[in-house]
Amino acid sequence: MVTNRNIDTVLRTLKRLVRQWRVPIVGHYRDDPFTTLISCLLSLRTKDETTRGASERLFRLARTPQRLSALSQRRIERAIYPVGFYRTKAKTIRSVCRTLLERCGGKVPDELDELLTIKGVGRKTANLVITLAFGKDGICVDTHVHRISNRWGYVTTKSPEQTEMALRQHLPRRHWQIYNDLLVSFGQNLCHPTSPWCSRCPLERICAKAGVTHSR
């Protein structure tokens, strides 16, 4: 079981492990809060490779809230297809851009609570923007982070929101900013949802394997 007695070793091991894999697409836009925000919105319920292509096509058209809000919804839809729920996401992106222009001076807020007031921006997205784009402490919990944290036995929760709150209480703050990056890469490449590669995993001996019914 992963605990706070061994979490430093666990995450140090993951840092070495993930060097062999491609950085998750949202991480490519960490130098610009706006593109980080939009890329994260595109990534929701969408595979990384699909998000990668959609982000590249959209940002060739526009990379600021001013220019992006000037595009028609139909043009945004064509650029981001086939991301999941592309019509809804195109509408959300235009709405977010208008909010940034009307309420935030065209700038992405660097505070979690302020980001959460923007319609269409949830906790996962807001935390990711805070950590990636602004280098502030936050805990971004997506399906990988939720699944693996519970699989390890590090937390026992039923939803990503519960996992975030448990990690805020349990995970040492020095690990907050890197936790999502590490677990997303780990989850995409080794610790898969239905059939994890336990035989290849350097953490196999200390993993609680909670909920694992089949592994390779």
Question: Can you tell me the distance from the alpha carbon of 12 to that of 201, in angstroms, rounded to the nearest whole number?
Answer: 14
Residue 48 near residue 24 (C-beta atoms within 8 A): yes
Q: Which of 124, 137, 181, 209 is catalytic?
A: 124
For the CA atoms of the chain, what is the radius of gyration? 18
Q: Which of 8, 15, 107, 142 is catalytic?
A: 142
DSSP 44: T
Question: Can you tell me the distance from the alpha carbon of 206 to that of 185, in angstroms, rounded to the nearest whole number?
Answer: 19
Whether 142 sits among the annotated catalytic residues: the reply is: yes
C-alpha dist (Å) from residue 33 to 63, 89, 191, 195? 11, 18, 29, 35
Whether 137 sits among the annotated catalytic residues: the reply is: no
- Helix, coil or strand: residue 11: helix
| Catalytic machinery residues | 124, 142
